[in-house]
């Protein structure tokens, strides 16, 4: 079992490049592009952040975003917002299963969306008793933050999948 390698964030400077990438200066080593991942996106959205180089090798873990200087924190937070962008479903307007695929029409806080999912076991993730994550065929994520807040018809659609 490998050891967790926490970064000494006092030696790290993250910046957003002109092209919108996140770079890292760590001591004398410059990484022109790093990828940022949450180890536990639902449980700890601001802790245990994995920093990886372009080849996917982990450089280290940040224990908590609050440890970073303000410019670094902003760069990492913006990257996380982009990577984990998840519209929240407020209502399901249509739902149709056909040939192993499900066709969804929904209203999110960002407007109307239509998407397709494949296979119930591949598309639906139960995060908690009331929170659901839906992943479409392109890997986009949609969230139902609280099933209890959906209207009766929308809840009925979701309950057929659970």
Contact 22, 53 (CB under 8 A): no
pLDDT of 80 > 90? The answer is: yes
Instruction: Quick: pLDDT tens for 86-130.
Output: 999 999 999 998 888 999 999 999 999 999 998 777 788 888 899
Confidence class for position 42, pLDDT limits 50, 70, 90: confident
- The residues, ordered by sequence, that sit 6+ positions from 17 with a Cβ below 8 Å of its Cβ are 23, 32, 33
Please state the separation of Cα 111 from the chain's center in Å: 19
- For the chain, give every domain's residue range: 9-83, 89-159
User: If phi over 0 gives left and psi between -120 and 50 gives alpha, with beta otherwise, what is residue 13?
Assistant: beta
User: Strand runs (DSSP E) across the chain, as ranges?
Assistant: 12-16, 22-26, 29-31, 35-38, 47-52, 58-64, 89-98, 101-108, 111-118, 124-126, 132-135, 141-144
pTM of the shown model? 0.71
User: If phi over 0 gives left and psi between -120 and 50 gives alpha, with beta otherwise, what is residue 27?
Assistant: left
């Amino acid at each position: 079992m490998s050891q967790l390698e926490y970064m000494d964030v006092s030696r790290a400077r993250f910046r957003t490049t002109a092209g919108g990438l996140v770079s890292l200066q760590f001591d004398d080593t410059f990484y022109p592009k790093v990828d940022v991942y949450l180890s536990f996106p639902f449980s700890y959205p601001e802790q245990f952040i994995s920093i990886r180089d372009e080849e996917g090798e982990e450089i280290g873990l940040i224990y908590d975003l609050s440890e970073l200087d303000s410019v670094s924190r902003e760069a990492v937070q913006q990257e996380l917002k982009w990577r984990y962008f998840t519209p929240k479903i407020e209502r399901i307007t249509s739902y149709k299963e056909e040939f192993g695929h499900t066709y969804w029409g929904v209203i999110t806080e960002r407007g109307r969306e239509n998407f397709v999912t494949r296979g119930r076991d591949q598309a639906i993730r139960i995060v908690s008793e009331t929170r659901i994550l839906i992943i479409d065929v392109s890997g986009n994520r949609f969230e139902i933050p609280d099933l209890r807040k959906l209207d009766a018809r929308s809840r009925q659609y979701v309950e057929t999948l659970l």
